[in-house]
């Protein structure tokens, strides 16, 4: 009987040891998801952001991890396929049990995953400029809202320094970000006295490569005797043939300047820049900015990626800021619990890479500086204008009547992201 009791106790102990060991293994690791296209039309932009998250994970593990645990990046490839983004997001949250996800570039990919994050109460850190008109308690928007990029760019071009532009071509890829941004810009331009006949709007599909007719139309539009500029929300690899066709038709930057919101150092690194010299880009960060934090970030990047020719860009800074803020919030909360981390995110501060401080506001958007740069032959940007201070993002545009009345404030007791009146509930 003693033998049977001892055997039973041993089996019970062994049985209890198996789940305990598995739990310990899970408890020793904090997983984060990386949801960026590594193939397809958006890979030209998104692959670098995957590498940025891996660099941040590597760095935090070298410094002891997070809450005494190792951080593990779980990388998936939604392949520039918008429905696949939602499928991969669900996989990360349900199967991999990630504590947070860093990902998406296009707004259509973000819109695709949004219901998944809200249903499963996940956290998405979205690092790219976008059209605004959204406020979710499950997303932290670390890229620029229109009042941190598009509106300042137009103001600059209207100014004496920007050439006092009078006619406007709003050219974009045919999806939600360009269409909504241009809706805001059209309303803003009209509020500034620009007539409807002085605004030309054009959309093309992802990956568009036959620009001859469209550029000819732009050239004709700009020949009306008024200074003309192109505001470009063209995304992905379609930018390469677009700028090439501008050059083919003899359109120079001093004649019809293009200010782009989706062309940065990473995109420029892979193409012949002679067609782009003198054109403009509006972002919140340029690699060429002189600041100690930026010098350290560039050095860290080149060491990690093991390629001295690899550049840095704005969405990388937004990824960096989001990751740093998330780790600070986790440390402050003492847990990766989504609800606790979300509350700890409000008011988080991280030194940005341009010499200032990024602050996470209760509308889930950052306060950021705005920079306008002129593209150089070496693929870098020469800053021609910078905001005097950081600008707080507007989640809802005051230039769209139905949005102007909406509030975005996720702190208790307000808890309101999409409403005109406060909601007193959690």
Three-class DSSP labels, 392-426: ECCCCCCCCHHHHCCEEECCCCCCEEEECCCCCCC
Structure tokens at 129: 């400029």
Identical fold, 25-144+290-368 and 150-260:
yes
Q: Which helix (H) or strand (E) holds 353?
A: none
- The structure's pTM equals 0.87
pLDDT of residue 422: 61
For the chain, give the number of residues.
426
pLDDT of residue 424: 54
Alpha-carbon gap, residue 55 to 102, rounded angstroms: 13
Burial label for 8, CB within 10 Å (0-12, 13-18, 19+), is: exposed
pLDDT of residue 423: 62
Strands 29-35 and 258-260 come out as unpaired
Strands 280-283 and 366-368 come out as unpaired
**Tens digit of pLDDT for each residue in 238-249?**
898 999 999 999
Q: Where are the domains of the chain?
A: 25-144+290-368, 150-260, 401-426
Domain 150-260, CATH number (from 3.40.50.150, 3.40.50.2300, 3.30.365.10, 3.30.70.2340): 3.40.50.2300
CA dist 336 → 66, 200, 343 (Å): 10, 48, 12
Q: Please report, for the chain, how many H helices and E strands are present, in that order.
A: 13, 18
- List, as one string, the DSSP characters of 38-83: SSSTTHHHHHHHHHHHHHHHHHHHHTT-BTTBEEEEEEE--TT-HH
Alpha-carbon gap, residue 265 to 377, rounded angstroms: 12
Report the topology of domain 25-144+290-368: Rossmann fold (3.40.50)
Which portions of the chain are predicted below pLDDT 70? 1-26, 414, 422-426
The number of beta carbons lying within 10 Å of the beta carbon of residue 49 is 25
Q: At a CB cut-off of 8 Å and minimum separation 6, what does 250 contact?
A: none
Alpha-carbon gap, residue 243 to 375, rounded angstroms: 12
């Amino acid at each position: 009987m003693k033998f049977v009791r001892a055997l039973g106790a041993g089996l019970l102990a062994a049985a209890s040891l198996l789940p305990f060991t598995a739990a310990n293994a899970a408890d020793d690791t904090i997983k984060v998801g990386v949801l960026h296209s590594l193939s397809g039309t958006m890979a030209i932009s998104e692959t670098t952001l995957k590498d940025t998250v891996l660099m941040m994970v590597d760095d935090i593990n070298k410094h002891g991890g997070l809450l005494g645990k190792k951080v593990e990046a779980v990388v998936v490839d939604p392949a520039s396929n918008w429905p696949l983004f939602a499928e991969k997001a669900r996989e990360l949250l349900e199967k991999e049990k990630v504590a947070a996800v860093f990902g998406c570039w296009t707004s259509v990919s973000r819109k695709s995953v949004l219901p998944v994050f809200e249903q499963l109460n996940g956290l998405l850190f979205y690092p790219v400029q976008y059209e605004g008109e959204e406020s979710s308690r499950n997303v932290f928007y670390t890229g620029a809202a229109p009042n941190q990029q598009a509106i300042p760019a137009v103001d600059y071009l209207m100014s004496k320094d920007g050439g006092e532009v009078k006619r406007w071509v709003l050219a974009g890829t045919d999806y939600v970000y360009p269409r909504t941004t241009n809706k805001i810009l059209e309303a803003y331009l009209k509020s500034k006295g620009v007539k409807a006949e002085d605004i030309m709007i054009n959309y093309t599909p992802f990956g568009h490569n036959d620009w001859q007719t469209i550029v000819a139309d732009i050239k004709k539009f700009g020949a009306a005797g008024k200074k003309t500029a192109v505001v470009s929300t063209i995304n992905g690899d379609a930018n390469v043939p677009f700028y090439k066709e501008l050059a083919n038709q003899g359109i120079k930057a001093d004649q019809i300047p293009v200010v782009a919101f989706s062309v940065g150092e990473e995109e420029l690194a892979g193409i012949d820049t002679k067609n782009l010299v003198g054109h403009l880009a509006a972002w919140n960060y340029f690699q060429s900015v002189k600041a100690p934090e930026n010098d350290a970030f560039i050095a860290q990047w080149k060491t990690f990626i093991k390629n001295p020719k690899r550049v840095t860009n704005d969405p990388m800074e937004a990824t960096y800021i989001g990751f740093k803020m998330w780790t600070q919030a986790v440390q402050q909360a003492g847990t990766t619990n989504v609800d606790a981390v979300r509350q700890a995110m409000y008011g988080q501060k991280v030194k940005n890479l341009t010499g200032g401080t990024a602050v996470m506001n209760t509308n889930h958007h950052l306060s950021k500086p705005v920079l306008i740069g002129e593209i150089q032959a070496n693929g870098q940007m020469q800053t021609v204008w910078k905001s005097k201070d950081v600008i707080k993002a507007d989640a809802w545009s005051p230039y769209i009547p139905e949005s102007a009345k909406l509030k975005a404030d996720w702190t208790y007791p307000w808890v309101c992201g999409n409403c005109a009146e406060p909601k007193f509930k959690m």
